[in-house]
Amino acid sequence: MNLALLAWKSAKARAATTVLTILSIAISTALLLGVEKIRDGARSSFEQTVSGTDLIVGARSGPVNLLLYSIFRIGDPTANVSWRSYEAFAARPDVAWTVPLSLGDSHSGFRVLGTTTDYFVHYRYGEKRQLSFADGEAFSGVFDAVLGAEVARELGYELGAEFDISHGLKSADFAEHKNRPFKVVGILGRTGTPVDRTIHVSLEGIEAVHIGWNNGVPPIGRSAQIDISDIEKSELQPNSITAFLVGLTSKSAVLRYQRDVNTFRSEALSAVIPGVALSQLWRVVGAAEQALRGVAVFVIVAGLTGLLTTILTSLNERRREIAVLRSVGAKSRDVFFLLVCEATILAAIGATIGAAAINLGLVAFSTQIEAAAGFPLGGFGLSLYDLYIAIGIIFIGFALGFLPGWIAYRQSLSDGLTVRI
């Protein structure tokens, strides 16, 4: 339309302020969408992380905490599960499978998970997808290790690479289990879950590096001299594990099994249903999400206020331009719509650039963001939500345009063809 073209040319003639206005709207749009996308990404990634597991059992604690440390490798367990209890619950007739998990060690900032080869069979993510090997195979020896895709990529390890693991999460501190080299025998395919950032070893491997340790204190004196070759697999029966995953033969058994775990007399244990724990988690983080969203909305408000300021400031210098347009036949309401058009166009360009930038940026920097976040983020990309927000911003820009539009309308009525400046 004619007026839109005129509005655009006029805005273009004031390049500096126009660019800055568009930029501020673009930045605020990007921020709002970015917050939402990372939130959604985290959510879908969390929801994709565990499937097909009926229950997670660990030392007694809140369900969220148990879920976080056992599946997402966030935080630390309060206590362990004794091997006897594990065996008792694994042997029940309603159990289809169990996978023990032993956490607490790390290598180069990546968590080491002690487990059994059942893990590669029964652990499922996304739509009940099984883990796959990109290279090599499951561990068989005590010091065999299977790397998550991201571990292998970031550390540049290939099959046959050797490394030490250290106690706790900090590498290269006093508590390194020196001279206990693990060897990479397998590398998993990418899953988009915390598995990608985990090093998997056998339970015996974890046990072996802790021989002689006492309550987290490194071995001293004679026991520190033990050589790997002396260690026999049979001696490496662990006393305890961190948690275990349970698959039951029927869904109807879940609640009974859970009750039995929670009321187990000889040890304080908790069993949580992953889905239930997740929804509790969302309730906890909901408040933080609201706060973030609130900040983003205020940034949008600031951006749109900038738009209004720019246009209002330009009004005075444009009175002549408007008088000229009136003289060639523009109606007062054309003058009104000229300014509404301008506000709408700037908001539209800003919102489009912002939405495009955040989408491209998140795709381009997804690995860096995931490394910083410590867990993978679900699929980024244009969504319906982006469209709604962009349309919303454009609509607000349009509505804000009514103010300068109305002022210019009034001005053009009293100015007529004569402009006094």
Partner 1 sequence: MRSDEPPNPCVNIANLEYRWANGAHALSIRRFSIEQGERVFLQGPSGSGKSTLLGVIAGVFAPTAGEAMILGQPFHKMTAAARDRVRADAMGVIFQQFNLVPYLNLIENVLLPCRFSRHRAARVGPSEAERIDKARRLLNRLGLKEEAGANRPAAELSVGQQQRVAAARALIGLPSLIIADEPTSALDAETRDAFIETLLSEAEQAAVLFVSHDASLSKHFDRLVVIEDINFTEDKRVVSLPQSAPAAAEA
Ligand X SMILES: Nc1ncnc2c1ncn2[C@@H]1O[C@H](COP(=O)(O)OP(=O)(O)OP(=O)(O)O)[C@@H](O)[C@H]1O
Site of interaction with partner 1 (CB under 8 A): 2, 6, 9-10, 12-13, 320-321, 323-334, 413-414, 416-419
Crossing angle of helices 332-364 and 15-49, in 10° steps, is 40
* Residue with Cβ nearer ligand X (229 or 414): 414
- Residue 411: CB minimum distance to partner 1, A: 12
| CA distances for 334 relative to 339, 347, 409, angstroms | 9, 20, 9
- Residue 352: CB minimum distance to partner 1, A: 23
* Residue with Cβ nearer ligand X (249 or 316): 316
* Residue with Cβ nearer partner 1 (233 or 320): 320
> Under rule CB under 6 A, how many of the chain's residues touch ligand X?
2
186 closest CA partner among 205, 161, 209: 161
* Residue with Cβ nearer partner 1 (156 or 329): 329
Return the structure tokens found at 255.
């609640």
**Exposed/middle/buried for residue 327 (C-beta within 10 Å: 0-12, 13-18, 19+):** exposed
Binding-site partner at residue 263 among partner 1, ligand X, none, CB < 5 to 8 Å by type: none
* Residue with Cβ nearer partner 1 (16 or 384): 16
What span, in angstroms and rounded, lies between the C-alpha atoms of 26 and 405?
23
Binding-site partner at residue 246 among partner 1, ligand X, none, CB < 5 to 8 Å by type: none
Helix (H) or strand (E) holding 248: strand 243-248
Beta bridge partners of 95: 248
* Residue with Cβ nearer partner 1 (229 or 418): 418
- Residue 343: CB minimum distance to partner 1, A: 17
Binding-site partner at residue 326 among ligand X, partner 1, none, CB < 5 to 8 Å by type: partner 1
Phi, psi angle pair for 23, to nearest 5°: -60, -45
What span, in angstroms and rounded, lies between the C-alpha atoms of 400 and 309?
10
Beta bridge partners of 183: 144, 162
Q: Among 229, 234, 252, 418, which residue sits at the site for ligand X (rule: CB under 6 A)?
A: 418
Q: Which 3 state secondary structure label does DSSP give 92?
A: coil
Binding-site partner at residue 333 among partner 1, ligand X, none, CB < 5 to 8 Å by type: partner 1
Under a CB-based contact definition with an 8 Å cutoff, are residues 70 and 101 in contact? yes
Binding-site partner at residue 323 among partner 1, ligand X, none, CB < 5 to 8 Å by type: partner 1
Binding-site partner at residue 419 among partner 1, ligand X, none, CB < 5 to 8 Å by type: partner 1
Amino acid letter for position 288: A
Q: Which residues 204-243 are close enough to bind ligand X by CB under 6 A?
A: none
Binding-site partner at residue 259 among ligand X, partner 1, none, CB < 5 to 8 Å by type: none
Binding-site partner at residue 321 among ligand X, partner 1, none, CB < 5 to 8 Å by type: partner 1
Phi, psi angle pair for 169, to nearest 5°: -100, -20
What span, in angstroms and rounded, lies between the C-alpha atoms of 395 and 273?
44
Helix (H) or strand (E) holding 95: strand 95-107
- Residue 415: CB minimum distance to ligand X, A: 7
* Residue with Cβ nearer partner 1 (249 or 327): 327
* Residue with Cβ nearer partner 1 (259 or 410): 410
Amino acid letter for position 4: A
Under a CB-based contact definition with an 8 Å cutoff, are residues 242 and 70 in contact? yes
* Residue with Cβ nearer partner 1 (2 or 237): 2
- Residue 417: CB minimum distance to partner 1, A: 6
Q: Which 3 state secondary structure label does DSSP give 108?
A: coil
Q: Which residues 388-417 are close enough to bind ligand X by CB under 6 A?
A: 414
- Residue 416: CB minimum distance to ligand X, A: 7
What span, in angstroms and rounded, lies between the C-alpha atoms of 252 and 147?
35
Binding-site partner at residue 327 among ligand X, partner 1, none, CB < 5 to 8 Å by type: partner 1
- Residue 382: CB minimum distance to ligand X, A: 51
* Residue with Cβ nearer ligand X (384 or 417): 417
Under a CB-based contact definition with an 8 Å cutoff, are residues 278 and 286 in contact? no
What span, in angstroms and rounded, lies between the C-alpha atoms of 339 and 219?
78
- Residue 394: CB minimum distance to partner 1, A: 23
Binding-site partner at residue 330 among ligand X, partner 1, none, CB < 5 to 8 Å by type: partner 1
Under a CB-based contact definition with an 8 Å cutoff, are residues 55 and 258 in contact? yes
Q: In the complex, which residue's CB is closest to ligand X?
A: 414
- Residue 406: CB minimum distance to partner 1, A: 15
The DSSP annotation for 116-173 comes to -THHHHH-EETTTEEP-EEEE----STTEEEE-HHHHHHHT--TT-EEEEEESS-TTS
Residues that bind ligand X (CB under 6 A): 414, 418
